[in-house]
Amino acid sequence: MMNLSAPTQPVFLIALVVGALAIISLLGVAIPVVSAYATWLLIAAFVLLVLGNVLNNL
């Protein structure tokens, strides 16, 4: 059984900002750097949250 822990506040905030930018971009707002990689950035935000939950000190 895995021991899950809450992600630290900086990890959560980074994942939140990256995920929000990706979702806004996917909804049609053109953000110059984000729009080309919006799907990958959304996946990266979720992976970051998963790693923050699985690893204790992240």
For residue 38, the surrounding DSSP H or E stretch is helix 38-54
pLDDT of residue 49: 95
Residue range 38-48, pLDDT digits in tens: 999 999 999 99
Residue range 9-39, pLDDT digits in tens: 999 999 999 999 999 999 989 989 888 999 9
Residue 30 lies in a domain: yes
Structural domain boundaries, residue 19: 9-54
pLDDT of residue 58: 67
pTM assigned to the model: 0.86
Residue 3 lies in a domain: no
Q: What is the spatial distance between Cα 2 and Cα 56, in angstroms, rounded to a whole number?
A: 11
Nearest to 44 by CA among 9, 10, 8, 20: 20
pLDDT of residue 56: 81
- Please give the tally of structural domains in the chain: 1
